[in-house]
Amino acid sequence: MRVLVANKEIINMNKTRLFIFFMVLSGIFFSCNQEKQNQADLELIESGWKSVYQNDENGNRLAGSIDSLIVGIRNGYDVRVGWGWERERADSILRLEHMAEPLFLTVIQEKNVTAVIDAHPLLQSYIDVDNQKIGEGGHIWQCVLTTKGTFNAQVHNRSTGELIKDWPQRHKMTWFLEYPSNKAKENKPLFR
């Protein structure tokens, strides 16, 4: 009888050990799986420059996600904005594209972005490839671009600061983020 009781105790101890073993193993499995899932969330986008949002000249979304752009800005990723136009000129079509890294970015009401482009010397010509040189007179060009399609360019006299030309426009714009190899998931608004 004592042998039978001892065998039941050994069996119960083995069941308890086996239960504990499976619980520990399950914990390790689920924690590894959770770590892989969190890592997968961070690795959804490869590193490098990616087009994340595009708006038309009226501010309507053409592609991408404004939320992705805002999250990238909050995470401190580098931003570039590109714009261009196509026009008929005489018997040909003129196509021009620009790309700039903003000097200053603003997220407005968590749904719009503005970018101030650093001032640079006005070129003699932006369309003639053989005339790509700094313009005479020392004028500088600077603008503010928005995800609403607005593009407010100004030309100033470099020496005096006098406003030479205020040149509001509307453009289709493409917004790019440079994703680092180790992406941050934190994206709280900067006002919190």
Q: Which residues make beta-bridge pairs with 60?
A: none
**pLDDT beneath 50: ranges in the chain:** 18, 22, 24-25, 29-43
Concatenated DSSP letters of 70-130:
HHHHHTT-EEEEEEEEEEEETTEEEEEEEEE-EEEEEEETTTEEEEEEEEEEPBS-SS-GG
DSSP 3-state percent helix, strand, coil across the chain (nearest 5) = 30, 45, 30
pLDDT at 108: 97
107 CB contacts (<8 Å, ≥6 apart)?
A: 70, 73, 74, 113, 189, 190
At residue 165's C-alpha, the angle toward residues 163 and 167, to 5°, is 130
Q: What is the pLDDT of residues 69-117, one digit of tens each?
A: 999 999 999 999 999 988 888 888 999 999 999 999 999 999 999 999 9
Collect all residues with Cβ–Cβ distance below 8 Å to 21 and sequence separation of at least 6. Answer: none
User: Which pTM was predicted?
Assistant: 0.72
Helix (H) or strand (E) holding 46: none
pLDDT at residue 26, as a whole number: 52
